[in-house]
Structures are given as structure tokens and as C-alpha cells.
Amino acid sequence: METKRFIVEIGTGADLHGEDVTKAACRAVKDAISRSCLCGLVEILGIEDLQAMQVDILVASPRPDEVDLEQVKATAPIGQKTARSVAGGMVVAGLCVPNFAPNCDQIVVANAAVTVSVRTNFPTCAVSH
């Protein structure tokens, strides 16, 4: 059986106080998956085990090496998950609020692309552009 993409969703997340790129990345994943109901997996494709689907997460943040990919993967509630982190996102001037976190006056923004793929035995169809 071949694996084919079922859906790709894009999301954005920010940490307003704390400059935590993992928090921003997790929020970006939540934003992406909050717009998708994967009912077609069950109702059209007849998939019974949603844990069998593949969920590939790509996050882009200003400090990709600091993103905790295990936390990012845990944000997706189902599926066989992979995650990787690349440079991107944004840093913008914010406001330091010591009650939230010390010595931080920047907002960090992350983007996420969440791709859900499924194993299928449907024939490959050519798409012309």
C-alpha cells in the first residue's frame, strides 16, 4: 500500500511573554489542527484505526534548535507522529511582564505545517498543472 497525503494545515502560534519557542510551536500546531475534522478518514476511506495515520509536523521558529520536538508531537492527539524544526517564524518587540517571565521583552512567533497521510490502495492519479 502507498502512503498519500490526506490534508495539510498551516498554523501560527506565539509566546507573548517568555520567549519560549516550544510554547509558540505547540500553539502553532494547535492552531493548524483546530481547523480540521478528519471525518473523511472514517466516512470515506473507511479507516478504523486513526492511530495508523501518519502525522508529519514541520515547525519554523527563530531558534529551531531550542524547540522540544517531543512536546510538539504530543500536541497532535492521534496518529504516528514525526516532527522537525527549521529556522523561520518571527521575533517582534513585546512587553516584559515579570509575573509571566523575567528579562523577556520579545514576542516569538512560530509557524507549523501539519500533514496527515494515510495508507491507501487507491490508484495513483496524475494531476496536470
- Window from 4-8, 27-31, 66-70 with minimum mean pLDDT: 4-8
Domain assignments of the chain as residue spans, ordered by start = 2-120
- CA distances 118 to 20, 29, 53, 64, 122, Å, are 32, 19, 5, 28, 11
Mean pLDDT across 44-62: 90
Q: Residues 7, 33, 9, 73: is their CA dihedral positive or negative?
A: negative
Q: pLDDT digits over 54-85, tens only?
A: 999 999 999 999 999 999 999 999 999 999 99
Could you say which of 3.90.1150.10, 3.30.1330.20, 3.10.520.10, 3.40.50.10800 is the CATH number of the domain covering 2-120? 3.30.1330.20
Strand, helix or coil at 34? coil
Q: Which pTM value belongs to this model?
A: 0.87
Residues 6 or more apart from 1 whose CB is under 8 A from it? 119, 120, 121
Mean model confidence pLDDT for the chain: 90
Mean pLDDT across 91-106: 86
Q: 15 forms bridges with which residues in the sheet?
A: 108
